């Protein structure tokens, strides 16, 4: 005999897939399900939890459980890199116009709330390896949050690392009050003579940690995309390492690869 909570989850899942319950629809109250299936409250909740973990339903305390509606996605492409590189050498008036987030989301500069903070750290083993420097090298760690002014959760959590020694010839680059910097990191690097040649992006996925769920306002039953972006300069050295956490339910990464012709 199958477990009761699985049978119940299967039955409700089938109703959702068959379209008896549509996105946005409210499920019967837990007490109603207790009666309908003749099982205890805890068992019913276990069944609903299965569906929640699958991202099929959304439980709201005091309101009810609802069939989840797919969210619109933010697209982040790798063609943005060429665009950002070009922008890094533009005159300041042009650089002020728009940033990468505006490009991804289609929103205006004024719709966005930006926050940055800097601090200096010594490279851990893991970071030192990623950046190709000795352990303990002084790094500038910069954390960024950008959000839509109408929402409370940022689009992503970004932490970027630069080697302090390679940028300190321009003291403005060590000063967080200069943010947001028109033209972004690659313009900043341009001011100290660094040109980016290629970008490597490593992508994995996992459930959010408690802190990430809190900060990105993620409900249970969602995942995060973890992206580590490594930028190499024209001499093959690592210029920047950025760790980005993106909500999986509203982000799509698009990578285009061009091939040599036969």
User: Cβ closer to its own copies: 11 or 54?
Assistant: 54
Task: Choose, by CB under 7 A, the member of 55, 64, 132, 184 that binds DNA.
Answer: 64
Residue written as tokens 């982040």?
76
Q: Which does 54 bind (CB under 5 to 8 A by kind): DNA, its own copies, none?
A: its own copies
Distance CA 3, CA 43 (A): 10
Report the nearest approach of DNA to the CB of residue 214 (Å).
14
User: Cβ closer to its own copies: 149 or 209?
Assistant: 209
Q: Which does 89 bind (CB under 5 to 8 A by kind): DNA, its own copies, none?
A: its own copies
Name the segment binding DNA (CB under 7 A); options: 43-51, 110-118, 149-157, 229-237: 43-51
Q: How far is CA 161 from the centre of its chain?
A: 17
- Compose the 151-190 pattern: x for residues touching DNA by CB under 7 A, - for all others: ----------------------------------------
60 binds DNA (CB under 7 A): yes
Q: Beta strand pairing status for 64-67 and 74-77?
A: unpaired
For the packed helices 30-37 and 41-53, what is the interaxial angle rounded to 10 degrees?
A: 110
CA distances from 217 to 18, 147, 151, 153, 247 (A): 30, 12, 10, 6, 9
User: Cβ closer to its own copies: 131 or 199?
Assistant: 199
Distance CA 193, CA 177 (A): 22
Q: Give the number of other Cβ atoms within 10 Å of residue 186's Cβ.
A: 21
Interface ranges with DNA (CB under 7 A):
3-5, 27, 29-32, 38-43, 45-46, 48, 59-65
């Amino acid at each position: 005999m199958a477990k009761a909570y699985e049978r119940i989850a299967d039955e409700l899942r089938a109703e959702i897939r068959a379209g008896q319950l549509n996105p946005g629809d409210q499920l019967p109250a837990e007490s109603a399900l207790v009666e309908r299936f003749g099982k205890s409250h805890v068992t019913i909740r276990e069944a609903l939890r299965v569906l929640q973990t699958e991202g099929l339903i959304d439980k709201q305390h005091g309101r009810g459980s609802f069939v989840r509606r797919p969210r619109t996605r933010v697209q982040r492409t790798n063609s943005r890199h060429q665009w950002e590189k070009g922008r890094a050498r533009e005159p300041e008036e042009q650089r002020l116009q728009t940033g990468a987030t505006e490009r991804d989301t289609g929103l205006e500069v004024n719709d966005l709330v930006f926050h940055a903070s800097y601090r200096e750290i010594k490279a851990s083993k893991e970071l030192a390896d990623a950046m190709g420097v000795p352990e303990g090298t002084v790094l500038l760690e910069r954390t960024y949050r950008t959000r839509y002014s109408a929402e409370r959760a940022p689009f992503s959590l970004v932490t970027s690392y630069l080697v302090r020694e390679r940028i300190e010839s321009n003291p403005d680059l060590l000063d967080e009050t200069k943010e947001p910097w028109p033209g972004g990191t690659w313009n900043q690097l341009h001011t100290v003579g660094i040109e980016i040649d290629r970008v490597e992006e490593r992508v994995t996925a996992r459930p959010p940690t408690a802190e990430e769920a809190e900060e990105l306002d993620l409900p249970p039953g969602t995942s995060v995309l973890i992206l580590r972006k490594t930028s190499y300069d024209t001499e093959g050295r690592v210029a920047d390492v950025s760790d980005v956490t993106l909500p999986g339910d509203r982000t799509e990464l698009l990578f285009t690869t061009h091939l040599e012709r036969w």
